[in-house]
């Protein structure tokens, strides 16, 4: 599978939402937390839902709010661990301790406490963590997300739906048309159906096809939800243009997005405006887009004709001979919706001119890698450079803040791995030694099985100084060892 993007919480609440094929449930709009006087502050709980699964609780409801902040704002979260002392769940590292914390995925912020510290900040049952996250004044706008990151238990908690979206305002600085478009924030989660009352009916509801694009031998054990609902309806009128912000919050599944009869006018990937590094090309038009676990897509879409039944769906993804099945299925129906004008966003609009940051890629294309990451696995676990992650391990590599580095990421296994690094973005520019036609800036890159990618890491932001991590974002792989520390000096 290629990294070429330009080719051609209601976990297990299925009995409540139903499985009838004709049901039309509007896509829910999660509550929002917005900054006031440059501060966004709220309390979030980790608890069990009615089905006994882990969940976020906000204002007494099992739901994750969308956090909307602007560059220069401060985000304050009191994160309360109300999970039981003795867990009945199974974890990659047994026994489950019901420990938890938060990671602010993609944000270029400090890895030191009380900000994006996933190594030392950990809440055991009964504990509370107090996060104070300072968004840099020059932070790029875009879609980011937050999820738990306790080593050994992150896969279980993400699979249960402990995740939510973060929007850094200001994308309209790079594409003024967005100011007049209705916005949809769509959090796609991969939900396990192993405990569902009628898994067959759920697979039929989403029109899940048998895996046909690879050699995966297993049966399908996941379906996707959008904002917590199975196959909801997204309202958009014929010819109407909307701004969709989509995050793949799945713990371990890829999506290859397609909108029937329409194309995506992509304006940002992984929270990075295309124009930020390439102002002459602020948008790319694609027929479909591969989004690995943790990846984000921000695009303008146009409503299909009224006589056309359209759906947002994922195509089958070949994850490799040893990979999990990622079959094609429907994520949401797309039908005519309200023609009312978009609700005016209650934000202090950023009137500054857009900022740009360009690099000369030629300086890196002919260079030898500064660091090589090698993904391997065996029956005993998953490894980076033949090492399993340990919480007390030393940093595997160091990087001087203020520099760029050429990294090569090798995948020596027979399945896909999405590589993610905290605190930074990077330019993915070559795959298997061949330069990509359209290099892209990301924070999570798909690495082809038995192949490799070359990237330019941007470590120039002074706020990232401290100990951080990089890892495979198939979180069951990360939990079983495929993570390592990096020290930004």
Task: Per-residue pLDDT tens, the chain, 489 aa: give them.
Answer: 344 333 333 333 333 333 444 557 899 999 999 999 999 999 999 999 988 999 999 999 999 999 999 999 999 999 999 999 998 888 888 789 999 999 999 999 999 999 999 999 999 999 999 999 999 999 999 999 999 999 999 999 999 999 999 999 999 999 999 999 999 999 999 999 887 889 999 999 999 998 778 765 678 889 999 999 999 999 999 999 999 999 999 999 999 999 999 999 999 999 999 999 999 999 999 999 999 999 999 999 999 998 888 999 999 999 999 999 999 999 999 999 765 555 555 556 777 889 999 999 988 988 999 999 999 999 999 999 999 999 999 999 999 999 999 999 999 999 999 999 999 999 999 999 999 999 999 999 999 999 999 999 999 999 999 999 999 999 999 999 999 999 999
Question: Do 206 and 330 touch, CB atoms closer than 8 A?
Answer: yes
Q: Residue 369, preceding bond cis, omega within 30 degrees?
A: no
Question: Do 212 and 327 touch, CB atoms closer than 8 A?
Answer: yes
Q: In which residue are the tokens 């895996």 written? A: 211
What's the token pair of residue 13? Answer: 């609440």
For residue 94, the 8-state DSSP code is S
Q: Rounded CA gap, 337 and 238, in Å?
A: 9
Core vs surface per residue 378-417: b (16+ CB within 10 A) or e = eeeebbbeeeebeeeeeebbebeeeebbbbbbbbebebbb
Q: Rounded CA gap, 65 and 43, in Å?
A: 11
Question: Do 391 and 456 touch, CB atoms closer than 8 A?
Answer: no
CA dihedral over 418, 314, 158, 223, signed as positive or negative: negative
**Amino acid 211: pLDDT:** 77
**Amino acid 16: pLDDT:** 34
Q: Rounded CA gap, 464 and 60, in Å?
A: 34
């Amino acid at each position: 599978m290629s990294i070429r993007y330009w080719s051609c919480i209601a976990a297990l609440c299925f009995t409540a939402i139903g499985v009838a094929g004709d049901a039309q449930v509007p896509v829910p709009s999660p509550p929002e937390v917005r900054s006031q006087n440059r501060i966004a502050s709220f309390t979030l709980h980790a608890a069990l839902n009615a089905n006994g699964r882990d969940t976020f609780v906000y204002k007494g409801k099992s739901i994750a709010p969308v956090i909307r902040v602007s560059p220069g704002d401060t985000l304050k979260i009191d994160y309360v661990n109300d999970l039981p002392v003795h867990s009945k769940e199974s974890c990659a590292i047994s026994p489950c301790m019901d420990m938890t914390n938060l990671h602010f995925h993609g944000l270029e912020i400090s890895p030191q406490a009380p900000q994006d510290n996933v190594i030392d900040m950990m809440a055991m049952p009964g504990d509370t963590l107090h996060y104070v996250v300072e968004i840099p004044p020059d932070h790029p706008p875009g879609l980011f997300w937050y999820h738990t990151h306790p080593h050994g238990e992150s896969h279980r908690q993400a699979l249960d739906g402990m995740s939510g979206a973060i929007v850094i305002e200001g994308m309209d600085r790079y594409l003024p048309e967005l100011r007049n478009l209705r916005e949809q924030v769509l959090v796609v989660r991969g939900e396990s159906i192993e405990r569902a009352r009628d898994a067959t009916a759920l697979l039929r509801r989403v029109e899940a096809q048998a895996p046909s694009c690879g050699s995966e031998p297993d049966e399908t054990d996941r379906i996707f939800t959008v904002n917590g609902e199975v196959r909801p309806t997204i309202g958009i009128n014929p010819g109407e243009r909307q701004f969709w912000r989509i995050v793949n919050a799945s713990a371990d599944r890829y999506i290859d997005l397609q909108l029937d009869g329409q194309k995506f006018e992509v304006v940002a990937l992984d929270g990075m405006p295309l124009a930020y590094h390439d102002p002459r090309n602020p948008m790319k038009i694609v027929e479909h887009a591969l989004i690995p676990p943790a990846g984000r897509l921000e695009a303008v879409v146009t409503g299909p004709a009224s006589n056309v039944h359209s759906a947002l769906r994922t195509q089958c993804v070949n994850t490799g001979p040893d990979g999990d099945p990622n079959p094609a299925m429907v994520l949401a129906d797309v039908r005519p919706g309200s023609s009312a004008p978009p609700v005016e966003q209650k934000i202090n609009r950023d009137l500054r001119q857009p900022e740009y940051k360009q690099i000369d890629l030629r300086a890196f294309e002919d260079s030898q890698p500064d660091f090589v990451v090698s993904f391997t696995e065996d029956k005993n676990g998953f490894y980076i450079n033949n090492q399993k992650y340990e919480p007390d391990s030393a940093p595997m590599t160091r990087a001087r803040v203020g520099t760029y580095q050429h990294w090569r990421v090798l995948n020596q296994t027979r399945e896909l791995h999405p590589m993610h690094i905290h605190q930074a973005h990077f330019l993915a520019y070559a795959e298997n030694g061949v330069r990509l036609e359209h290099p892209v800036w990301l924070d999570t890159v798909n690495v082809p099985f038995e192949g490799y990618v070359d990237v330019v890491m941007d470590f120039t932001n002074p706020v990232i100084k401290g100990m951080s991590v990089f890892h495979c974002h198939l979180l069951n792989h990360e939990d079983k060892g495929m993570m390592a520390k990096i020290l930004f000096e």
